[in-house]
Amino acid sequence: MRPWLKRALAAASVTSLLGVGLVGFAHTKAGRPLLGWLKGAPGCPVLEGKADPAAIEAYRTRTLRTNLAEASHEARLTPALSFSLGKSTRADVSRFASRHGASCNDEANGAALRCTGFGDSTELSDLYAQFDLQGHLVALDGFSDLNAEAGLDYLKQREQALVASVGPVTKTTGVAPVTKELQAPYARSGIEFEYKRYSAKLSIMNFGKRGTRVREQYQWLAPAELAAR
């Protein structure tokens, strides 16, 4: 295990880690914030390694339906960076990556693309895009490696864009989103937009010597999937 991850787990007081294992702890309330940093993809890392695309999408929609069960309003639009969930396609993601100097590889048995190697024309460092069985974009997970000040500025810009196109922030998590609060190693600040069929989660986390990283997670449910709950 990498030293930085060991320190992160220690900072989260993971005394039960030896008994249940890393993945088990990551699915607990205390460890859930670290789950995404282990792989950086929507859904369960273990399931994605073995299942076919239909099973992966079924797991994703089932989990998202549960997470959005309390949402009472529809999102005005379904943005995810430069894309529109439910409308943009695999080809759209590939073109976007190519335009910004990145390359993409299939993951999750063809259910997703991971794109890396972005140039200076975008803040992105790593992009994970997941598609339904018709090839439409349904989930997007993006990472940006920035210093604390630049990361907070970027986070604020993304928040303003989502408020304008989706609706108000529905939840805040972690410490106050100001530079001084993020100076402690593994401090994290986040905001969420949870609507009937749409979820966006923006967060920033201090990884100590590894720097500060911004994460953007977007997911969407088709109308038929919402009715299935």
pLDDT value of residue 3: 43
Q: What is the pLDDT of residues 37-54, one digit of tens each?
A: 444 445 454 455 567 889
pLDDT value of residue 34: 47
Is residue 11 scored above 50 in pLDDT? no
Q: What is the pLDDT of residues 102-117, one digit of tens each?
A: 999 999 889 999 999 9
Q: For residue 185, name the pLDDT band (cuts at 50, 70, 90).
A: confident
Which single residue is written with the structure tokens 């108000």?
A: 168
- Amino acid letter at 153? D
Is residue 212 scored above 80 in pLDDT? yes
Instruction: Give yes or no for a contact between 205 and 213, defined as CB atoms under 8 angstroms apart.
Output: yes
Q: DSSP alpha helices (H): ranges in the chain? A: 3-11, 17-26, 32-39, 45-50, 53-67, 90-99, 148-165, 223-227
How many Cα neighbours within 13 Å face the side chain of 70? 5
Nearest Cα residue to 123 out of 91, 156, 94, 92? 156
Is residue 196 scored above 90 in pLDDT? yes
Is residue 25 scored above 60 in pLDDT? no
Secondary structure class of 125 (helix, strand, coil): coil
Angle at which helix 17-26 crosses helix 3-11, to 10 degrees, equals: 100
